A and B are shown apart, each in its own frame.
Chain A
């Protein structure tokens, strides 16, 4: 019964979405207030209906209603409650439902908080948003219906892939979707602006908070996914340049570029059509990402759909959405008038450099991800592109972007003084040179690239600190004066500093763990000891035990350093009888500056076990750095100019511009 109500609600949501995608557009063209107003009510009604459908599915999972095919295929009565609930989106149909739900939430937020938007713009944004909803709801209903019944119902379900029964992965999709779908709003704003034929600083101010929200969600989602891969897959790595990872990374790169170019539109009224293009690209890449992981083109944990019809449906959706928006862009973009002029050496120039670097880096990732698919589709052989490709194309392109990250904020808008900026950064150059020299001495001239990378990290971190110190005139003015200035700096500027430090931390950790990791693979018997990067791992053997829905073999290591106890590591191999699958549970002890990581493999038949032990220096800082980046985004969102739907009035803006260096985000 409840399942049927959910089904009905989703059908009604489709009808509402169809109306919402057409009537307000007509209303905006004819300037009919009632029709434009309809978009708001429709968006909120749509949220209610989609929420009902989502809750109905969740209910079926919670009570383990195996007469629903989706539940029978993906759940099991013995599964812990947390994974029954997260199991809703750990499958193809349910994850689409989550996609649609988040889409509806964003739509309703525009409807609810967008009171300050010009009515025509709001009506058009909501209409475009509804078009996306029509596509996805239709896809769900016609090719991946979560409400299909199964008769006769099986006694129990088939269970959920044990790899997905994990807190890290349970919450990875919602955050990722939050990011993907968040870009749908900026996309809708971009399309609406193209229809309207007007892009101005006010438009950019409405778009920026949404971009920031989406960016924060995507950053966190990618970090969660990489953390999960690190501890669950037992390879000790955190990023594999796997097509599925790239699929989420590409929208992130585009979104990061959009975040920065929207600043130029807001502050200087320039780069308008470029920003519109980026908004379209960011969402197109989100769609492509969804297509790649959902169509079964790629082989991974994410590839749920093995039904080719679904792949074709998403492909058609993709062609309509991307083709249509690019066609509209081609027709309307030339009518957008360019605004403020600037010198190459200026804040705008630095942001252009940032955008160029990010988009070109994005292009290399795109090429590396799509080329094997393309070759395969042409029937010219199976090829794979691995990490070495990305390391030698993506990484060098990003280095200038990172250097510009420290210099850019030192430059003034319109016309910057590069010599002055570099002069102010003398301490950063000093730090970089010091790190480079010290690193060379310590490593004996080996790992030159790693040492140079760390020097860049030092440069960026010092650059961020100097920029802040300059703003508050630290040690140049009395401390009370600095304190007053520190409090007057806009939150968005703090957000930038925090996010930039986060990037530097992530880089630091990636360099350190890639270059200085220690790995030991060998067969060990109970009682044996092995030294890994100065830590003594004593193996105590393997014993059997039972978990709630699995059986495990647990290998125990006592780790000591210089004779002092450090940690007990318990690595497991788990076998899930319902799903007939095994998983590896790595044991990890973190000292914050490094992780000790142990995996137990197969017995050799004569009392020994293959084990894999790692010492991963700095690796936790990858995720700490990512969290710092997200915090930067959130701090920036608390800036009152960024409050969703509450753009500053003219009077407030005047105050902002009166503040010392207020234009700094």
Chain B
């Protein structure tokens, strides 16, 4: 086998692999990109129930409700203009608190509530997930708070 043919073989093999990979990636992107929306976005845009999205905002004071004898909890998140009810089954992150920013991933239910499959909260009490900070800025209610402590974390259900 000459050098030229070897190169041709490697190039062809590479192109084939890349082609397959590109197809896989495109298909995966189509179904698996998860967009972030603020509660106002959810209210204003037509988002199909069942589509996987992320929503985020501040947890509204006194909105946390537990269903007795069931692991289901519900709470509302707000961007100070609109609020959205979130229903979640499971254990909330350690630093989930009312008044704090969270991000939830899941789907909208036909009744307008959001069914979360995971809830993310940062482990720094002053911390605001960037998506939430951004949507609060857009809603014009953002006050910059200096992060007091650098190390921060994240939790899922």
Q: Which of B1, B25, B95, B155 contacts A364 (CB 8 A)?
A: B25
Nearest B residue to A307 via CB reads: B150
- Which one of A25-33, A479-487, A603-611, A647-655 contacts B? A603-611
B1-40 Cβ-contact flags toward A at 8 Å (1 or 0): 1110010011001100110110011011101111110000
A383 near B36 (CB under 8 angstroms)? yes
Cβ of A397 under 8 Å from chain B: yes
What is the total number of residues of chain B having a CB less than 8 Å from a CB of chain A?
55
**Chief secondary structure at chain A's binding surface:** mixed
Please pick, from B10, B28, B36, B95, the residue contacting A389 in the complex, using a CB distance under 8 A.
Answer: B28
Chain A residues 211 to 270 lying within 8 A of chain B, measured CB to CB, are: 233-235, 240
Q: Which of A235, A301, A381, A605 contacts B36 (CB 8 A)?
A: A381
The CA of A608 and the CA of B147, in the complex, are separated in Å by 36
Please, which residue of chain B has its CB at the minimum distance from the CB of A361?
B21
User: Are B90 and A352 touching (Cβ within 8 A)?
Assistant: no
Whether A164 lies near B151 (C-beta < 8 A) is yes
**Contact present for A612 and B20 (CB under 8 Å):** no
Number of interface residues of A (CB under 8 A): 69
Q: A301-B152, A397-B24 are in contact. Are A601 and B92 (CB under 8 A)?
A: yes
Residues of A within 8 A of B10 (CB): 352
* Of the residues B17, B32, B157, contact of A235 by C-beta under 8 Å: B157
Nearest CB on A from B143, distance (A): 17
Contact A393 B24 (CB under 8 A): yes
Query: A565 to nearest B CB, angstroms?
Result: 27
- 8 Å CB contacts to B: which residues of A17-75? 73-74
Q: Which B residues lie within 8 Å of A100 (CB)?
A: none
Nearest CB on A from B1, distance (A): 5
Residues of chain A from 499 to 549 with CB closer than 8 A to chain B in the complex: 521-523
Instruction: Among B20, B34, B124, point to the contact of A383 (Cβ < 8 A).
Output: B34
Residue of A nearest to B68 (CB): A606
Please name all residues of chain A whose beta carbon is closer than 8 Å to the beta carbon of B20 when the two chains form the complex.
Answer: 397
Chain A CB within 8 A of B131 CB: yes
Q: Are A608 and B54 in contact (CB under 8 A)?
A: no
Interface residues of chain B, those whose CB is within 8 Å of chain A, are 1-3, 6, 9-10, 13-14, 17-18, 20-21, 24-25, 27-29, 31-36, 54, 66-71, 89-92, 94-95, 105, 122-125, 129-131, 134, 147, 149-157
Residues of A within 8 A of B (CB): 73-74, 90-92, 158, 160-161, 163-164, 233-235, 240, 299-301, 303-306, 338, 341-344, 352-353, 356-357, 360-361, 363-364, 367-368, 371, 381-386, 388-390, 392-393, 396-397, 521-523, 573, 579-584, 599, 601-602, 604-606, 608, 610, 612
